[in-house]
Structure 1
Amino acid sequence: MRALRFHAAKDLRVEDIALPTDPAEDEVVIENRFVGICGTDLHEYAYGPIFVPQDEDGKTAAPQVLGHEYGGTVTKVGKGVTHVKVGDRVSVQPFITPRSGDYYVDRGEFNLSDAMQLAGLSWIGGGMAQESLLKGYNVYKVPENMTDEDAALVEPTAVAVYGVDRGGVNAGDSVLVTGAGPIGLLTLLAARAAGAVQMFVSDPNATRLKIAKEIIPDVITINPTEENVGDVIRAATEGGVGCDVALECVGNTFALQACVDAVRKRGVVVQIGLHPGEAPVNWFDVVYKDIDLRGSWAYTAQMWPRVMRLIASGQIPARKVVTKTVTLDTVIKDGFDALLDPAGTQLKILIDLNG
């Protein structure tokens, strides 16, 4: 089968590789349909290996099939798997962890396990291939009215929904999202689905702010290179107090500082984007304003049915963040390189594995 594999930074290759082995008792094989290019995949391409396994010399241990945002159709089922059957369309929850004997796994907190592997980064296969071998618990049958493209968008949408959950967004809240990339815009949509009625998004890229306005017409857009984010939000919120919840989706120091400044007293700041290192904040404001500052790591595995319902029902129209679909033949130039273009004209790119 054909697959896109990571070999080293700036070294991705579309290659013919062996088909997955027959599934063990607790495994399934799926024919992959659509897969999204995630920011993590981009970081591996530009700077990796980061999460891709390495040998003791710090080099890639073996070529790695990328892609953890995907779905497909079940083609083989291990005899111990009963919740899906051959022919079922599924979405992939990509965490592979021990089932017991781990502090966090034993509490159902699979995303926090240090033993976690991820399909498409540190597992034997991934979504950027024509087929993949997975554990049975990795696949969830999608609703009949969910498209194959939507099945590939459950994973990034789960990141957004979990971040909104961590922020405790309630009906009637005002919410700031920093970063108008795919996760930022999905987070806006998730906040709206949770009941937020006043929404702000900041980003220095005018094209992305324009796309945000097209997706959510009533969102207030802010370019932080031209306006002070906190001042804009205080001027627009009741009593000039600031927003209820600020969700940082960039992993940028200035964006985090803007969130701390913009949120009201007793408000909540959630860090969703991954920072490359330390990020100073105004701790006087954190204390004086009595705010909560929380992390949000990925999502819980149990969220998949809920997130699928949110997408299938139209409450989170995830496909609106997709700006382009490519094939394996063109994925490096038209996918990875396009997303790394500083002009930032693309948001979410899907790979059509039947193309």
Structure 2
Amino acid sequence: MRAVRFHGARDIRVEDVAEPSGVLAPDDVLIAPAVTGICGTDLHEFLAGPIVTPKEPHVYTGATNPQILGHEFSARVLAVGDAVSHVAAGDRISIQPLLSPRNDYYGKRGLFHLSPVMGCVGLSWAWGGMGEKAVIKDYNAQPVPDSITDEQAAMIEPAAVALYGVDRGGVTAGSTVLVSGAGPIGALTALAAHAAGAALIIVSEPNPNRRRIISEIAPYAMVVDPRSGDLAQIVADLTEEGVGVDVALECVGLEASLNACVKAVRRQGRVVQVGLHMKPASIDAMLWALKDITVEATWCYPTQIWPRIARMIATGNFPVEKVITARIDAKDVVSKGFEALLDPAGEHLKILVTT
């Protein structure tokens, strides 16, 4: 079967590999992926990997490179193991890609995303979404209603990252919110904040193309260029008595962005770290104390969030498909996928791949 495999930095190949064979384990699900998104984690692997993909057998899954990529995807069920009852052959599903023990400290508490041995389909598992077939575990297979498309179902995974950040920020009806960064996660975070009822959403983004895209997909947002002036003052001018926003969501993963969020949030406000930092950040701890703020850090998402997001998409409350800017075939995954997303012009947010 055809598959997109990561071998090393700037070494991603479309190859013919053996498809899954043999008898399914009782909790296995055999699937045919439909569409798969290229994630920021995939981009980091392409640029500087292996980082997350395993050079040595993964401690929990046993997987090792070369790795079939793809952890943001939808699929159709082909067959199920004897113990699987919640999905059947022919069902459409969204993949919740995290793999972890069900019976360790975190698993027993339903905190599957916090397991220290967690693996991920498409990053540290034998199979991924950018292959014609894959085997996943029963808990990875999340049924979706007929009212959402395969593309929308593939977008549930990155949408979960965004919505978890909004949840941790306590965004509710009437909230004032700053989203720092309008990449794919930032754009989804703005949509999620709107779905949660935020009354004012300010999006800070230096890239003009990304400012244009977010203005089109979230016309209710106030989109600003942080280089055009003092962001904290811009935010103050848009909020009641100049106090700043209730919640600032950092979606870039850079020190400057984190510190800008701290300056822009009101006293006793909340800053949520949604973007992943690749190196330590220097912060002004005294400012955190002076403003009496709460800083929340997030890792992935609670895996139980899938049905909620599917319902939000089905009702039109969370239009995740607006973040998709291109659809490509796997044969073009490097030139029209990875390289396009790394273009400094920033003309794309989410690119979907069909294998």
Task: Tell me what 2:43 maps to.
Answer: 42
CA distance in 2, matches of 1:232, 1:126: 43
Unaligned runs of 5+ in 1: none
**Quick one: which of 125, 141, 144 aligns to 2:143?**
141
Deviation at 1:335, TM superposition (A): 0.4
- Looking at structure 1, the residues matched to 239 and 213 of structure 2 have their Cα atoms a distance apart, in angstroms, of 23
The CA distance in 2 between the partners of 1:117 and 1:23, in whole Å, is 20
- AA of the residue aligned to 2:4: L
* Residue identity in the other structure for 2:11: D
2:346 aligned partner: 344
Shift of 1:256: 0.4
Match of 2:92 in 1: 89
Question: Mapping of 1:291-306 within 5 angstroms?
Answer: 291-306=293-308
CA distance in 2, matches of 1:225, 1:114: 39
User: Contact between 1:324 and 1:349, CA under 8 Å: does it hold in 2?
Assistant: yes
Task: Output the amino acid matched with 1:146.
Answer: I
Q: Which moved more, 1:263-272 or 1:13-22?
A: 13-22
Whole-angstrom CA distance in 2 between matches of 1:30 and 1:225 = 47
Amino acid at match of 1:38: C
CA contact 1:260–1:281 (8 Å) conserved in 2: no
The aligned residue for residue 204 of structure 2 is 202
By how many angstroms is 1:73 displaced?
Answer: 0.3
- 2:3 corresponds in structure 1 to 3
Counterparts of 2:229 and 2:29 in 1: how far apart (Å)? Answer: 51
Percent identical pairs in the alignment equals: 51
RMSD: 1.1
Q: Following the alignment from structure 1 to structure 2, what is the Cα–Cα distance between the partners of residues 46 and 313?
A: 38
Match of 1:71 in 2: 74
Aligned length: 349
Q: Which of 301, 304, 309 is matched with 1:307 structurally?
A: 309
Whether the 8 Å CA contact 1:70–1:92 is kept in 2: the answer is yes
Whether 1:118 aligns to 2:84 is: no
Q: Secondary structure at the match of 2:227?
A: coil
Could you tell me whether the CA contact under 8 Å between 1:29 and 1:131 is conserved in 2? yes
Distance between the aligned counterparts of 2:228 and 2:105, measured in 1? 47
Q: Does 1:52 align with 2:53?
A: yes
Question: Over residues 134-190 of structure 1, what are the superposed CA-to-partner deviations in whole Å (9 max), with x where a residue is unaligned?
Answer: 001101111110101111000000101100001011110000001101100100010
Amino acid aligned to 2:95: V
**CA–CA separation in structure 1 for the residues paired with 2:317 and 2:257:** 27
Residue 197 of structure 1 and its aligned partner are, at CA, apart by 0.8
From 250, 255, 258, the equivalent of 1:256 is: 258
TM-score by length of 1: 0.97
Q: Distance in 1 between matches of 2:84 and 2:330?
A: 31
